[in-house]
Amino acid sequence: MRKTVLRAAALSALLLLIGGGTAIALRLQAGNLVIVTDGGFSPTTLPKHEFAPINLHGYGKITTADGSNPPILEQIVLWFDKHGSIETRGLPVCTQAKLAATTTSQARKLCPGAIVGTGFGEAVVNFPEQAPIPASSPITIFNGPKVDGNPSVLAHAHLTVPGPTTFVVPIVVQEVHDGRYGFKTVAEIPKIAGGAGTPVYGRLSIGKTWKYKGRTLSYANASCPDGRLQAKGQFRFKDGTFLQGTLSKPCTGKN
């Protein structure tokens, strides 16, 4: 099994101007495999020394240089800037048991107060001697039960192709002390269509506010003490390929 490793410092990890030069996305390439990913937050003007509410957004696209099917993505590890925080006090909690075997609309009706993000995912199912079958689903991110004191989320998706299937992926937001990074998440990508499905695109928006004991709280928060917020992504594939890249976004700190 071939194993290709790409580090963030490698020359093939490039910052590209996409969309007429208005957005900066990270392009990672290892051999034939290409990942383009970008993310950001709003507002970008934040206090220097205390946290303020933000909304997060991001996307990732997996392709190949020659147009062939990419290898199957098995794990995504994301590292987040230490100048951020997650708040869950007073936020309703949803569970895997509630979300099992639900469609998107059913899941959202069962745990409406626990929704902290939404998005969309696409995959391609490749069965032998058949044309590729596109599959897609809305994604819903629910506040989940704490795990060893850490916040968690449940990522829910429901595919109807090639057959009705519900996926509920638990993801723990781990607090870490690793240089620039203060939080880490590990998402194990479930097998799609018995392993015949390949994830090719996903986007997410994270953000929620609510009232708790007379105060307005926000799920995602950040400060801007030094003019930037940074994230790191690591992507592992079934064929052994590993890609890693760092994305830094500017912010303006105010006193």
Residue 31 is part of a domain; what is its CATH number?
2.60.40.1510
What's residue 116's pLDDT? 98
Look at the chain and report how many structural domains it folds into.
Answer: 1
Amino acid in position 28: L
How far lies 95's CA from each of 143, 146, 189, 239, in Å?
9, 11, 19, 32
Q: Which residues contact 229 (CB under 8 A, 6 or more apart)?
A: 41, 81, 83, 84, 222, 248, 249, 251
pLDDT of 11 above 60 = no
The tokens for 21 are 């030069």
Comparing CA positions, the residue from 192, 247, 252, 189 lying closest to residue 223 is: 252
What's the confidence (pLDDT) of residue 171?
Answer: 98
- Whole-angstrom distance, CA of residue 237 vs CA of residue 165: 22
CA angle 146, 190, 41 (to 5 degrees): 60
Taking 50 as the threshold, does the pLDDT of residue 226 lie above it?
yes
Per cent of the chain over pLDDT 70 is: 91
- Residue 129 — φ and ψ, nearest 5°? 60, 30
Instruction: Inform me whether the pLDDT recorded for 21 exceeds 50.
Output: no
The pTM score is 0.91
The pLDDT confidence band at residue 24, using thresholds 50, 70 and 90, is low
Nearest to 199 by CA among 60, 7, 6: 60
Cβ pair 171, 183 in contact under 8 A: no
Q: pLDDT value at position 129? A: 87
Expressed as residue numbers, the domain containing 184 is 5-254
* Each residue's pLDDT tens digit, 116-173: 999 999 999 999 989 999 999 999 999 999 999 999 999 999 999 989 999 999 999 9
Q: How far apart are CA 19 and CA 46, in angstroms?
A: 26
